[in-house]
Structure 1
Amino acid sequence: MKSQSISGALLSLSLSMLLSSLGTSIANVGLPTLADAFSASFQAVQWVVLAYLLAVTALIVSVGRFGDLLGRRRLLLMGIALFSGASVLCGLAPSLDWLIAARVLQGAGAAIMMALSMALVGEAVAKDRMGSAMGLLGTMSAIGTSLGPTLGGWLIAHTGCQGLFLVNGPLGVLALLLSYRFLPGDRGERRAGWASFDVRGTLLLVSTLLAYALAMTLGRGHFGALDAALLLAAVFGLGLFVVVERSVDSPLIQLSVFSHPRLSGGFAMSALVTTVVMASMVVGPFYLGGALGLPMASVGLVMSAGPLVAALVGIPAGRWVDRFGAERSSNLGLMVMLIGSGSGSLCLLPMQLGVIGYLASLSAMTAGYALFQAANNTAVMSGIEAQQRGVIAGLLGLSRNLGLITGASAMGAVFAFGSAAGDVLQAQPQALAQGMRLTFAVAAGLIVIALIIDRISRNVSRRSLASY
C-alpha cells in the first residue's frame, strides 16, 4: 500500500476504535440526567451502560470469526453503519426501554469495530510497523475513555442528554467514508459466509458470556444466589461449548490456538492486566473523595490523568515495541505496572502523600499498561495466519472485556472487604485507605501472576522452536 493509503487506513481504524471506546465512557456521566429525564431509578438507568458492555462482551469473538469468513472490510463497514444508526436511535429514544434496546444495537456495532479494527491492522501496515500501529489504536482507545466524561458533560449542558448519543452519528459517517476509501479490499477466498459459520457454537458462546457478565455485574459487588446460578450456568456452558467445538467441521474457535503458548498466555495476561486497570477506575473515586476529601470536580480531574497518560504513552510505546521487540516490551510494561500498584506505591501508599502520591502511582501503572498493551497485541496478532486474524482479535478483545467486568465486580468487593464497612459511602477515611491498600496488594499479586505467565509462555515457545 502507498504511504497515503496506509495513513488513511490507520486514520479510519483509529476513529473506529475511538468511537467504540467513547460509546462506553460518554454514557456514564449522563446517568443522573437520564434518570431524571425518564423518571427512572439509578439502578434502571445503569442498564444504559450495562446493555452496551454486555453486547460487546457477548459478540466480539463471533463477529471476529464472521469477519474472517465474510470479509473484514465488508463487515467493518456494516458495523460502523450499525453503530452510527443505533447512536441516532439512542438519541431519539422515547423511553428508557427503547434507549436500552438501541444501546444493545450500538454495542453490537462497537463489537465489530473493536475486533475488526485490530484484525485489519495486519493488512494495512507492514509487520515491522505493527507495534506502532497497535500503539496508535491503544492511544485512540485511551483518548475515547478520557474524552467521554468531559465531552459528555459539555454535551449535557448545551444539548441535553440526547447529545450524548447523537454526537456519534456524524463521527460514524466520517469513519464509514474513510474506511470505504482507504481500507484494502477483501480477498475472495475469505467470503465463505454463513455456510461455514458455526451457529451452534456461536449461540453457546454468546449465552455463556452473557451468563458470566451478568453474574459479575448484577450484584454490583454483592454475590448472591442469582449470581451463583449464573456463574454455574457459565461454567456449564463453557464445557458444552468445548464439546461442540470439537465435533464440528468449521468451529467458531479452533481450540488448538490455546495450545500455542504465546496466544494463550497473551489472552490470560490481558485479562489479568485489565482487571487491575479497572480496579483503579472503580475504587479510585472512593479513595480520592472519601479518604483524601477531594470535591467531585477534582476527583474527576485526577481520575482523567490515567487515560491521559495512556494516550500520551501509546504511540511512543508502539515505537518502542518495534525497536526492542514485543517480548521485552511486554515484560517491561508489567514491571512498571507492578511498581505502580505494588510495594512502596498504591498498596502501601500513606495518606500523607495525598493526591501527589496517588497520581505518581496511577501514572506509572497506566504508562506500564500502555506499553504492555502495545507489546501484547503485537505479539498475539503478528504470529497468526491471515485467515484467523478476526477471531483472534475478537478473543483478545474478549479477554480485555472480561478483565474489565471482573475488575469492576471482584476488585470492588475486595475494596469493600478491606474497608470493613457495610456501606463504603459511610466509611471513615482510614478505613477507605485500608481498603485501597488491600485492593492494590491484590492487584500487585495479579501482575506477578501475569509476569509468571509471560516467563512461562516465552520459555515454552523457545523450547517448541528448538525441538522443531
Structure 2
Amino acid sequence: MNRPATIDLPAANGALASLSLCALFAALGVSCANVALPTLAQAFDASFQQVQWVVIAYLLAMTTLIVSVARLGDVAGRRRLLLAGIALFAAASLVVGVAPTLWVLIATRAGQGLGAAIMMALTMALVGATVPQTRTGIAMGLLGAMSAAGTALGPSLGGVLIGTLGWRAIFLVNLALALLTLALAGRYLPPDRPDPAGVKLPVDVAGTLLLVLALGAYALGMTLGRGTFGPLNAALLLAAACTLVLFVLAEGRAASPMIALSMLRDRALSASLAGGALVSTVMMATLVVGPFYLSRALALDAAAVGLVMAVGPVAAALAGVPAGRLADRFGAARIAVAGLAAGSVALSLMPAKFGVPGYLGASASMTVSYALFQTANNTAVMASASPQQRGVLSGLLNLSRNLGLITGASVMGALFAIGAASPSLLTAQPGAMAAGMRLTFGVAAFLIVLALSISWAGRRGQVAR
C-alpha cells in the first residue's frame, strides 16, 4: 500500500477517529444484541431457537464475507468500499430498529453483519494510508482498544437502553454512530490511490457462496425445532457436510482461494486454529445463554442483566497486566486453559447455589482467561510468520474465531434448550434453567480440555519435526 510522503495531522486525526468508531460499533453490533434476546423473544412471541438468529445472522454474514470484502477493497478502492459498508450498516440499523417482524429484523441483521465485515476488513488496512508511520503502532492499539470498549460497553448500554427506551433503541444508537462515522470518514479519509506494484487478487466468489451455504445449513440444523432434533435437522446437517466437501474441493482448485488449505497441513497451526475455535465456542455460549439464565432463573431486569454481563469484559481489561505477568512466569496457554476450564465448571454449578455473585465470579474468570488465551494463541501463530504470510494467517485466525462464535450461538444454545427441557425458555422454571446451565457448561468444560489436548498434540508434532 502506498503511504503519502506527507500526512496532514488534523486530517490524520479525523481519519483515525472515523476508523476507531468503525471498530467501536462493529463490536457493539454483537454485544448489544445479546442482552436483548430475552426481550426480543417476548416482543415477538418467539422461541429461544428463533431469537438466536438475531446473533447468528450477524456472525454468519461477517464470518463468510470478511476475507472476500478485503480483496474487493483492493479492486474497488478501500475508501470507497468502507464508505459503502458504513452506509449499509447505517441503513440496516434503521430497518432493524423499526422492524415489524422478527424475520425482517433477522434479515437486516445480516445486512449489518456485511457492513461490519467491510469495516473490520478495511480499517486496519487503511491505517497505513492515513497516519504517519511513527504513529502506526499507537493507531493499531487504539483500534484494538475501541473494539474491546465496544464489547465491554454493549451489555450495560444495551441493558440501560432496553430498560428505559425499549429494545429498538439499541439498534438506533448504532444508526447514530454510523452516521457520525460516515460524515467523518467522508471528510477525512484520503482518496484511493492506485498501487502499481500491488497484486490485486480476484474475489473467490464460488468459495464464498459455498461457505455461506455450508454454515447457514449448519446453523439452521442446530436451531430448528424447540429443543428437539428431527429429520429436517439431520437433513440440514448432511447438506452442510456435503457443501463443506464441495467448498474444500473448490478451494483446492481456485486460482486465488479464500482459505489457503495448504497451510492447514502445519499441525501446530491447525492445532492453534482448532483450539481458538473451541474456546470461542465456549465464550459465545456465555453471551447467548447468559441473558436468559439471568432474566429467568435469577429474575433480573434488562438493565441488571446488562450490568452483570459487562463485568466479565471489564475484569478482562483490568486484569490484563497482572494476568500477563502470571503468563510470563507459568505459561500463557497453561494459565488460560486452567482458568477457562475452572470457569466453565463454576458456571455450571455456582449460579444455582450462590446466585448473582456465583455467576459474576465464574464469568469473570472465564473472560479474563479467554482474553489471555487469545493473546497467547495469536502471538504463537504470528510470531514465526513471514511478512508474506501474515495477512493470510490473520484471516485464518479471524475465521476460526468466528466459526467458534457461530457454533457457540447455535450448538451451545441448542444444548441449553435441551438441558432445560421446557417448551419455552420464557416460561421455564429456575430449576429447568439451572439444568440447562449444567449441561451447557459441563460440555463447555469438556471442549476446553479438548482444546488443550489438541494444542498439546500440535506442539508435540512440531517438536517431533
Task: Give the C-alpha shift of residue 284 in structure 1.
Answer: 2.9
Contact 2:204 2:257 in 1 (8 A): yes
Counterpart residue number, 2:69:
63
Task: Pick closer, same or farther for the CA change 1:350–1:161 going to 2, 3 Å.
Answer: closer
Corresponding letter in the other structure for 2:115: G
In the TM superposition, residue 232 of structure 1 has moved relative to its aligned partner by 1.3
Shift of 1:163: 2.6
**Pairwise CA distance, 1:299:** 3.5
Q: After TM superposition, give the deviation of residue 129 of structure 1 in Å.
A: 9.1
- The amino acid across from 1:331 in the alignment is R
1:146 corresponds to: 155
Distance 1:32 1:411 in 2: 16
Note if contact 2:281-2:404 (Cα within 8 Å) is conserved in structure 1: yes
Aligned match of 1:265: 271
| Residue-by-residue CA offset, 1:287-338 (whole Å, 9 max, x unaligned) | 4444445455534432332233234446x489769x949x932332222212
1:88 deviates by 4.8
Q: Which residue does 1:215 correspond to in 2?
A: 221
CA 1:190 to 1:456, structure 2 compared with 1: closer, same or farther past 3 Å? farther
**1:244 is matched with which residue?**
250
Q: After the TM superposition, which residues 373-384 of structure 1 pair with which residues of structure 2 at under 5 Å, given as runs?
A: 373-384=374-385
Q: Of 207, 215, 228, which aligns to 1:201?
A: 207
Contact 1:57 1:398 in 2 (8 A): yes
How far off its partner does 1:160 sit? 5.6
Query: Partner residue of 2:178?
Result: 169
- Cα deviation for residue 422 of structure 1 reads 4.9
* Alpha-carbon contact 1:53-1:107 (below 8 Å) kept: yes
Aligned partner of 2:404 in structure 1 is 403
Q: What secondary structure does 2:355 align onto?
A: helix
What TM-score results when the alignment is normalised by the length of structure 2?
0.78
**Segment drifting more, 282-291 vs 395-404:** 282-291
Q: How many residues align?
A: 454
Residue in 1 aligned with 2:113? 107
Note if contact 1:47-1:100 (Cα within 8 Å) is conserved in structure 2: yes
What's the offset of the Cα at 1:340?
1.5
**In the superposition, relative to structure 1, how do residues 355 and 35 fare at CA in structure 2: closer, same or farther (>3 Å)?**
closer
When residues 177 and 320 of structure 1 are mapped into structure 2, their CA distance, relative to the original with a 3 A threshold, is: farther
C-alpha displacement at 1:180, in angstroms? 2.3
Name the SS of the counterpart of 2:436 in structure 1. helix
Aligned-partner Cα distance in 1 for 2:280–2:262: 25
Offset of residue 81 of structure 1: 4.3
Question: Could you say which residue in structure 2 is the equivalent of 1:335?
Answer: 338
Where structure 1 has 5 or more consecutive residues not aligned to the other structure, the ranges are none
Distance 1:50 1:22 in 2: 15
Please say if residues 311 and 360 of structure 2, whose CA atoms lie closer than 8 Å, have aligned partners that are also in contact. Answer: yes
Distance 1:159 1:246, change over 3 A: closer
**Is 1:192 aligned to 2:195, yes or no?**
no
State the match for 2:360 in structure 1.
Answer: 359
Cα pair 1:122 1:130 within 8 Å, conserved: no
Corresponding residue number in structure 2 for 1:255 = 261
In structure 2, relative to structure 1, the CA distance for the partners of 1:291 and 1:111 (3 Å cut) is: same
The one-letter amino acid paired with 1:302 is: V
Q: Quick one: distance in 2 between partners of 1:211 and 1:179?
A: 41
* CA gap 1:266/1:64 in 2 versus in 1, 3 angstroms: farther
Q: Deviations over 1:126-181 (max 9, x none)?
A: 99999967963662352353355146437835996773442232343266369826
Q: C-alpha separation between the residues in 2 aligned to 1:336 and 1:77?
A: 41
Helix, strand or coil at the partner of 1:304: helix
Letter of the 2:236 partner, please give it.
Answer: L
* Deviations, residues 197-228 of structure 1 (Å, cap 9, x unaligned): 33222222222222223323444643333332
Q: Are the structure 2 counterparts of residues 19 and 296 from structure 1 closer, same or farther at C-alpha, using a change threshold of 3 Å?
A: closer
User: For 1:336-363, what per-residue CA distance to the aligned partner results, in whole angstroms no more than 9, with x for missing partners?
Assistant: 2122223xx2334374433222211111
The aligned counterpart of 1:228 is: 234
Alignment of 1:11-22 (within 5 A): 13-22=19-28
Any conservation in 1 of the 2:66–2:118 contact (CA below 8 Å)?
yes
Q: 1:367 to 1:28 in 2, by over 3 A?
A: closer
Measured in 1, the distance between the counterparts of 2:98 and 2:297 equals 41
Q: What CA distance in whole angstroms lies between the structure 1 residues aligned with 2:138 and 2:304?
A: 39
Report the Cα offset of residue 408 of structure 1: 2.7
Question: Is the contact made by 1:262 and 1:458 (CA closer than 8 Å) also made in structure 2?
Answer: yes
TM-score for both structures, normalised by structure 1: 0.77
2:416 aligned partner: 415
Q: In structure 1, how many angstroms separate the alpha carbons of the residues matched to 2:155 and 2:236?
A: 32
CA separation in 1, counterparts of 2:145 and 2:432? 40
Name which of structure 1's ranges 265-274 and 350-359 shifts more when overlaid on structure 2.
350-359
